[in-house]
Amino acid sequence: MHRFAIAGLVVIAAAGASASAQFAALTQRAAQVPPSTGSGGAPGMVVRFAPALTLSNFQDGGEEAVEDLPPESFWDGWDGSVAFGLNGNQGNTENLSLRTSLAARRPTPTMETTLGFVYAYSTRDSEATENRARFDARNDWLFGEDSRWRYFISGFVEYDEFQDWDLRVGAFTGFGYDFIKSERTVLTGRAGLGATHRFGGEDEDTRFEGLLGVDWTHQLNDRNKLYASATYYPDFSDVPEFRVEARAGWEIQLDESNGMFLNLGVEDRYDSNPGGDSENNDFAYFALLGWNF
């Protein structure tokens, strides 16, 4: 038997110098820069707009200004969010549906790092119908403030009790291009190569795959954002097999004081050759209540 459950928790805690040390460092930096002769910002400071972290598939969005200074360590500069969704009923039928998500993002002038974890569990009449978990990580190296190009490395670990395999891992690398990059709208395309490997099931071979994807976000206003993404994975080890992962949703900021938001979305995972008795298509919809931290 290869049944087991993965529950993960990504906790990213900001660490850095004390408030007095930060104030002294900023004071010293300001003293080394001549006074500004114009208006529009502090002298010697370059400001760019980095999107606030949400659970929207690690996509860009928002208008949070950050100082263009490198963090003192890897643990500086992180933003995070956590969200939960729970539905159920008990009577003539007993149903339970649980979904939890965690995400973290660290933007710097030279790179963007994103982490994410999703766990979903469902039962019908006390019998499990869904039990899966996935952890994703990606690092983008930026080619400069004026460049639309980026280089990325990404990877994932996925568990699904109701697939032919027990565990699937993958790693990819490639280039991205920002077709649209404004304060409200971001459209990024990605292309790359990589490989996946399945543990358990009928096929445990390594599969070499391509990657073609697009990420889109649009900030309607201060409280509402739309997002969508789709990624196509052609299987070069078994042409013409392929996988597609897509999702779309609407994120609503409920309370700015404590970072509470509502995330309504749908996602679809398609595998032309899932193996065993598994279905090709796996569609889900969700409503999550979350907090940014």
Token output for 44: 């010697």
Q: Quote the CA–CA distance of 7 and 115 in Å, as a whole number.
A: 15
Strand partners, 128: 123
Name the amino acid, one letter, at 215. Answer: D
- The tally of CA atoms less than 13 A away on the side-chain side of residue 222 is 4
The secondary structure of residue 278, as a DSSP letter, is -
Q: What would the two tokens of residue 87 be? A: 């539905």
Structure tokens at 219: 């900030």
In a domain, 237, yes or no: yes
CA-only gyration radius of the chain, Å: 21
Residue among 236, 250, 243, 292 at smallest CA distance from 269: 243
Please give the torsion angle defined by the CA atoms of residues 268, 273, 278 and 279, in that order, rounded to the nearest 10 degrees.
40
* 11: in domain: no
Query: At 216, which amino acid appears?
Result: W
Please count the other Cβ atoms lying within 10 Å of the Cβ belonging to residue 194.
Answer: 19
> What is d(CA 155, CA 41) in angstroms, rounded to the nearest whole number?
39
Q: 13 lies in a domain? A: no
| 129 inside domain | yes
Q: Indicate the number of domains in the chain.
A: 1
**What type of residue sits at position 228?**
A
23 three-class SS = helix
Which letter does DSSP use for residue 31 in this model?
H
Asked if the structure places residue 6 within a domain, the reply is no
Task: Give the model's pLDDT for residue 92.
Answer: 59
The reply to whether 5 falls in a domain is no
Residues with Cβ within 8 Å of 48's Cβ and at least 6 positions away in sequence, in order, are 65, 66, 68, 109, 145
Does the residue 236 lie in any domain?
yes
Q: Which residue range(s) make up the domain with 157? A: 19-292
- Cβ neighbors of 242 (< 8 A, separation 6 or more) are 232, 233, 234, 235, 272
Residue 212 sits in a domain whose CATH number is: 2.40.160.40
Considering all CA atoms of the chain, what is the largest pairwise distance in Å, rounded to the nearest integer?
A: 75
Q: Please report the pLDDT score of residue 96 as a whole number.
A: 87
* Residues 6 or more apart in contact with residue 130 via CB below 8 angstroms: 97, 120, 121, 122, 162
Q: Which helix (H) or strand (E) holds 19?
A: helix 19-31
The identity of residue 291, as a single letter, is W
Burial of 279 (0-12, 13-18, 19+ CB in 10 A): exposed
What is the chain's pLDDT, residue by residue, as a tens digit (293 residues)? 344 333 333 333 333 434 444 434 444 444 444 444 443 443 333 333 333 334 444 444 444 444 455 666 777 889 999 999 987 666 656 788 999 999 999 999 899 999 999 999 999 888 898 999 999 999 999 998 889 999 999 999 999 998 888 999 999 999 999 999 999 999 999 999 999 999 987 778 899 999 999 999 999 999 999 999 999 999 999 899 999 999 999 999 999 888 999 999 999 999 998 877 778 888 888 999 999 98
**What's this model's pTM, rounded to 2 decimal places?**
0.73
Residue 12 lies in a domain: no
**Can you tell me the distance from the alpha carbon of 165 to that of 198, in angstroms, rounded to the nearest whole number?**
6
